[in-house]
Structure 1
Amino acid sequence: MTFVEKPVFAPLLSAALFALWLALARSTSAGQIVLGLGLALAVPLLTSALRLTNVRARRPLVVARFILRVGYDVLRSNLQVARDVIAWRWRRPQSKFVIVPLDLRDPVGLAALSMVTTVVPGTVWSELALDRSALLLHVWNLGDEGAFVAHFKARYEEPLREIFE
């Protein structure tokens, strides 16, 4: 990743913020339009230092397959967690913290991994080692820890390495 001069103005971001503002306000009054335009122009200027440049997602088919996989896992995990909550009196889930060693080092890939673990019910991103070599996850119902780590790495980390590294 290289840091180069970043464009301050982001027209797509501004347009999206403006549209989102109007949708959330559920009004197209003059006041809402002025507020929306103000935010749409100010937010990209204020956050320009946070935007990365030269980020390339390689292998678009892997990206599409990964998005479908995460969507499937979200649905499946929702059902599993709901089943565990209903059966709480008879069978308690085996919640546990798990350390997952990481091979992924790209900051954008790690950000994507953190979003995936946050979106998929049953896992919570708890901590990343300072050297980015390990991840601490809280798992709602953990069976075999070794099998979970291998599954997590194969299902999420490896595709992100293909995409970003």
Structure 2
Amino acid sequence: MMKRLWPYPLLWLAMLGMWLLLDGSYSLGQLLLGVIIASLACWAVAAVEPPQPKIRNVGAIARLLWRVVIDVVASNIAVIALILRSRPPRSVFVTIQLELKEPNALAVLACIVTATPGSAWVHHNSRLGTVMIHVLDTPDGAVWAAALKTNYEQRLMEIFQ
């Protein structure tokens, strides 16, 4: 019961304190308004809290991290080479059909794609199970998509599903 009223008591207290400090007034009205705002904000945070991940294969995490490090270094080199050669990029939007459904795994995939220079996660359609990614420079979007599925999606499925 108490968890439903105050799902995050420290966050609630911090938000109430911040409200009072920012307002500069410690009147009863501001205190009540702060309590209401802090409570609504904490309930909103609780409503969008992601599900707890269930890690299935811890060894696959190391393989995934190694692959990400290699790809980030290679992508940095490729982007620098593109800039130094002054040739126009062969950018493309790639739509990929994903088998990955677990929300935490999708969030990790989005972080990996966006953190890798030369690619950006643009749109995810959960109903269709697709993701659209912008790739700065690639001769073949289909080959790039296949590499993403092999290097990241399969490993994330090993870890989370």
TM-score, length-normalised on structure 2?
0.70
Query: CA shift at 1:8, angstroms?
Result: 3.2
Kept after mapping to 2: 8 A contact 1:56/1:164? yes
Are residues 137 and 53 of structure 1, via their aligned partners in 2, closer, same or farther at CA, if it must alter by over 3 Å?
closer
From 130, 134, 140, give the equivalent of 1:138. Answer: 134
Structure 1 runs not aligned, ≥5 long: 15-41
Distance 1:50 1:113 in 2: 19
> Is 1:121 equivalent to 2:117 in the alignment?
yes
Query: CA shift at 1:49, angstroms?
Result: 3.7
Larger Rg: 2
Identity of aligned residues (%): 30
> Is 1:8 equivalent to 2:7 in the alignment?
yes
Distance 1:75 1:57 in 2: 27
From 93, 97, 100, give the equivalent of 2:93. Answer: 97
Residues 4-153 of structure 1 correspond to what in structure 2 (within 5 A)? Answer: 8-9=7-8, 47-88=45-86, 91-153=87-149
Structure 2 runs not aligned, ≥5 long: 12-37
Which deviations, in whole Å up to 9, do the C-alpha atoms of 1:83-112 show, x marking residues without a partner?
101112xx2110111111111111111111
Are residues 147 and 129 of structure 1, via their aligned partners in 2, closer, same or farther at CA, if it must alter by over 3 Å?
same
Kept after mapping to 2: 8 A contact 1:57/1:163? yes
- Matched residue count: 131
TM-score, length-normalised on structure 1?
0.69
SS of equivalent to 2:67: helix
Tell me the residue number matched to 2:22: none
Tell me the residue number matched to 2:29: none
